[in-house]
Amino acid sequence: MVKERRVFLENQTTKIIAQNKKARHDYFIEETIEAGIELVGTEVKSIRAGGVNLKDSFVTIDEGEAFVRGMHISPYEKGNIFNKDPLRVRKLLLHKREINRLFGQVKQQGFSIVPLSLYFKGSRVKISIALVRGKKNYDRRDDIAKRDAKRNIDRALKERNQ
């Protein structure tokens, strides 16, 4: 079952379904954008059951439209012929000016676009996408060293306070 975490924003409940933790580890996040996603009914039911994986997914822009590729939504177990391919390409619902701005930054500055999380906002499925820049190996090692140092400091403070 899905871990349920609810956040209250603008009188709407937000329930996070899946997160892409690998993206936060592998990339510097420059900007995030909320987008709608075009799904069929059995996919929404499968998402409600927690059958989604964002680990190797990415966003492409083709002919002025944004698409998410590599996002795995498991087939709905009670579905029949209406189940779609789990890895099919899904269209993102963004304004044209947002797509054009993202496309320009990806082409000129060498950024990529990856999904960070998938969630319900009210009754609608939303996806949080990010404009990202890749980390080098030394950046990752530096992040790990900082995290370990913070953990050691917290541990020492906890021991001192007890």
Query: pLDDT tens digits for 110-126?
Result: 788 999 999 988 888 89
Mean pLDDT within 52-56: 87
**Tokens 């995290």, residue located:** 147
Mean pLDDT within 134-152: 85
What residues are paired with 136 via a beta bridge?
Answer: none
Give residue 20's pLDDT.
87
CATH superfamily of 6-135: Small protein B (2.40.280.10)
Nearest-angstrom CA–CA distance, 92 and 41: 16
Mean pLDDT within 147-162: 88
Give residue 10's pLDDT.
55
Asked if residue 55 has pLDDT above 80, the reply is yes
Please tell me whether residue 99 adopts helix, strand or coil conformation.
Answer: helix
Asked if residue 151 has pLDDT above 90, the reply is yes
Residue pair 40/85 in contact by the 8 Å Cβ criterion: no
Give residue 93's pLDDT.
92
Domain boundaries along the sequence of the chain? 6-135
H or E stretch covering 33: strand 27-37
Give residue 2's pLDDT.
43
